[in-house]
Amino acid sequence: MPEFEFLNYLKTLGLKITNQRKIIIEVLLKNHGRHLSLEQILSEAKKNNPKISLATVFRNINFLEKENLLTKMKLDDNKSYYELCLDFKGSKHTSTHHDHLICESCGIIIEFYNDEIEKLQKKIALDFNFKISRHKMELYGICGNCIKNGELK
Amino acid sequence: MPEFEFLNYLKTLGLKITNQRKIIIEVLLKNHGRHLSLEQILSEAKKNNPKISLATVFRNINFLEKENLLTKMKLDDNKSYYELCLDFKGSKHTSTHHDHLICESCGIIIEFYNDEIEKLQKKIALDFNFKISRHKMELYGICGNCIKNGELK
DNA sequence: TTTCTAATTGAAAATGATTTTCATTTGCAA
DNA sequence: TTGCAAATGAAAATCATTTTCAATTAGAAA
């Protein structure tokens, strides 16, 4: 969770701690819980260092994803969104799966996990003699806030 | 279901029945139940008319989708797949929602519908005060056939 | 501290799946 | 037949990545 711990962890993976890398990690930690696109991460990062390029953000995000420190989700808007999936316990981290509610008005992405649904998925897989490796469930609609504010588009 | 009925229906929508259009419809009907990408539809169509262009396939598919005669699904491979969703009853058609099992070995897309899951989704939406307009559920893994054939990659 | 070198970066080009443009062709109503 | 809006093919444009390549830099070694 704290930045130095995160950076230390990256060091153990053989990475150099560059200014750009630090800024990107900062952005991710500051927005923990939110789902950001590459462009959003870039524009946040640019507030600290206007020279950071999209390619650098891409490469860093990509690396974190490979290390399972980030999850990527592709939404129907054709973009990918990234979310830190860390619970640092010493130098360990765990990632947890969740599904998503996606507001088509304000764009907020709400996570949830429902054990009954997971069980039903397993049952369905069994029925079809199918071995599931991962799944995706996205509920698109309008969030409570937008309903309240009359954003019914 | 029969092609002339389909084409007639398109006529009532103000479309001209071109050779290309006929071929594309043929391909879709012949592959009813399967999910095809634009490229797949194009390559099938080219067997009848090698001059058909991707743009034409795109525009026709796009139109059918707008008319709710086709459903489009974007998979994690970054491509869109299209499926006829018709049950012609006279000049009417109905579309039905389903979720998908996607084999990461052979690419087959198996449809299913589970009422319990749909109910749970509604319950979750309620919990979050969220108004769902549509949803997507995709279970990725290996299908029974590929397991049998040892495609465990 | 300075040197050295592999890792990292920025800019720009490449990719890949669509999507649009535009000049030409064609279905079909009159 | 003719006329013309609809449809088409080829090529260019988009858009979100992803890669290339030459220049820069972190940080280990001297």
Nucleotide D4 C1' to residue A4 CA (A): 71
The reported pLDDT for the residue numbered B97 is 77
**% of residues, chain B, pLDDT over 70:** 90
Name the nucleotide nearest A78; use CA and C1': D16
B131 Cβ under 8 Å from any chain A Cβ: yes
Q: Which range (A21-35, A92-106, B38-52) has the least confidence? A: A92-106
Query: Is residue A153 over pLDDT 50?
Result: no
Q: Residues A58-102: pLDDT tens digits?
A: 999 999 999 999 999 999 999 999 999 876 544 445 556 789 999
pLDDT at residue number B143: 96
Break chain B down into helix, strand, coil percent, rounded to 5.
Answer: 40, 25, 35
Protein contacts on strand C: list nucleotides below 7 Å from a Cβ: 7-12, 16-21, 26-28
Whether the per-residue pLDDT at A14 is higher than 60: the answer is yes
Q: What is the pLDDT of residues B50-74, one digit of tens each?
A: 999 999 999 999 999 999 999 999 9
Residue A102 in contact with residue A140, Cβ under 8 Å?
A: yes
The CA distance from B64 to B25, in Å, is 10
Which pLDDT score is estimated for B3? 78
What pTM value is reported for the model?
A: 0.86
pLDDT of amino acid B91: 44
Q: Considering only CA atoms, which of A137, A133, A128 is closest in space to residue B143?
A: A128
Residue B5: its pLDDT value, please? Answer: 85
Report whether pLDDT(A34) > 90. Answer: yes
Q: What is the pLDDT of residue B4?
A: 83
pLDDT value at A3 more than 90: no
Interface contact flag, B130 A144, Cβ < 8 Å? yes
**Could you tell me the two tokens for A91?**
């130098």
> Does the beta-carbon distance from B136 to A140 stay under 8 Å?
yes
Instruction: For chain B, give the mean pLDDT.
Output: 90
Q: What is the DSSP letter of A88?
A: -
A152 has a pLDDT exceeding 90: no
Per the model's pLDDT, the better-predicted residue between B4 and B147 turns out to be B147
pLDDT band for A118, please (50, 70, 90 cuts): very high
Q: Which residues of B touch A136 (CB under 8 A)?
A: 76, 136-138, 140
pLDDT at B153 over 50: no
How confident is the model at residue B90, as a pLDDT? 44
Structure tokens at B114: 């589970």
Residue appearing with tokens 């995160």 = A6
Residues of chain B with Cβ-Cβ distance to A112 below 8 Å are 124, 128
**CB spacing of A101 vs B124 below 8 angstroms:** yes
Mean pLDDT on A128-141: 96
Q: Which two tokens stand for residue B43?
A: 């390559």
